[in-house]
């Protein structure tokens, strides 16, 4: 039995990261439990060494209801992974990695000031920011879908991850396309 199973069920060694640019920034092996307590914050780029599932859990804690409730966010992601497996019969870690690859914008805009005029300029997005943006879009999409609806946050997160992994219409994919469309217009 493998040592570092995620939620004691999902084997990270089965996951294949197809985008070579993201390979360095998606850590699948947890160093210990999925709760590092922000120890990575003291070193630059150490965020890339934090398990991607823990980073998703941290993004799920950002909304008003879940702020600071790590155990609640942990259980939301754990139950969402179970739902993903029931619906697709695939490793949820693989679907999460695929969702991050599909939901991360490759290009965005910055505002440059020339004299007193602000001009938008299209720039390539760094790989670390692509991963951060994709996780944020997935978490926001799940929270928006669950807000004032009859579905649970677990179901909404599972649906968002599945849709983003299959590159179907969902909040995270539409946000990515919106950012890239604006960048294309600023070229």
Indicate the range of 46-50, 51-55, 126-130, 180-184 predicted with least confidence.
46-50
The answer to whether the Cα torsion of 93, 95, 96, 102 is positive or negative is positive
Q: How far apart are CA 138 and CA 182, in angstroms?
A: 20
The pLDDT-based confidence of 13 (bands split at 50, 70, 90) is confident
Instruction: For residue range 90-127, list pLDDT tens digits in order.
Output: 999 999 999 999 999 999 999 999 888 988 899 999 99
**What does the alpha-carbon distance between residue 143 and residue 56 come to, in Å, rounded to a whole number?**
13
**pLDDT (0 to 100) of residue 2:** 56
> Pick from 79, 2, 70: which is nearest to 34 by CA?
70
Domains of the chain: 12-186 (1.10.455.10)
How do the residues of the chain divide into helix, strand and coil, expressed in percent and rounded to 5? 55, 10, 35
Average pLDDT score over residue span 23-43: 78
Distance CA 157, CA 60 (A): 9
pLDDT > 60? residue 137: yes
140-173 pLDDT, tens digit each: 999 999 988 889 999 999 999 999 999 999 999 9
pLDDT in tens, 57-93: 999 988 777 788 888 999 999 999 999 999 999 999 9
User: Would you give the distance in Å from CA 90 to the centre of its chain?
Assistant: 18
| Mean local confidence (pLDDT), 16-21 | 90
State the residue for tokens 């070193």: 43
Which spans in the chain are helix H? 52-60, 70-88, 92-103, 127-146, 153-165, 171-186
**What is the widest separation between alpha-carbon atoms in the chain?**
63
């Amino acid at each position: 039995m493998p040592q570092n199973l995620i939620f004691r069920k999902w084997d990270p060694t089965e996951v294949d990261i197809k985008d070579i640019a993201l390979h360095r920034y998606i850590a699948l092996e947890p160093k210990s439990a999925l709760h590092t307590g922000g120890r990575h914050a003291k070193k630059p780029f150490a965020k890339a060494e934090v398990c991607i599932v823990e980073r998703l859990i941290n993004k799920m804690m950002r909304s008003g209801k879940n702020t600071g409730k790590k155990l609640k966010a942990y259980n939301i992601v754990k139950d969402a992974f179970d739902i993903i497996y029931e619906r697709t019969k695939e490793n949820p870690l693989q679907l999460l990695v695929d969702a991050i690859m599909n939901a991360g914008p490759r290009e965005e805009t910055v505002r440059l000031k020339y004299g007193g005029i602000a001009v938008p300029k299209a720039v390539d997005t760094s790989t670390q920011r692509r991963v951060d943006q994709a996780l944020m879009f997935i978490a926001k999409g799940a929270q928006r879908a669950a807000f004032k609806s009859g579905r649970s946050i677990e179901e909404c997160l599972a649906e968002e991850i599945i849709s983003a992994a299959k590159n179907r219409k969902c909040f995270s994919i539409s946000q990515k396309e919106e950012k890239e469309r604006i960048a294309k217009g600023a070229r």
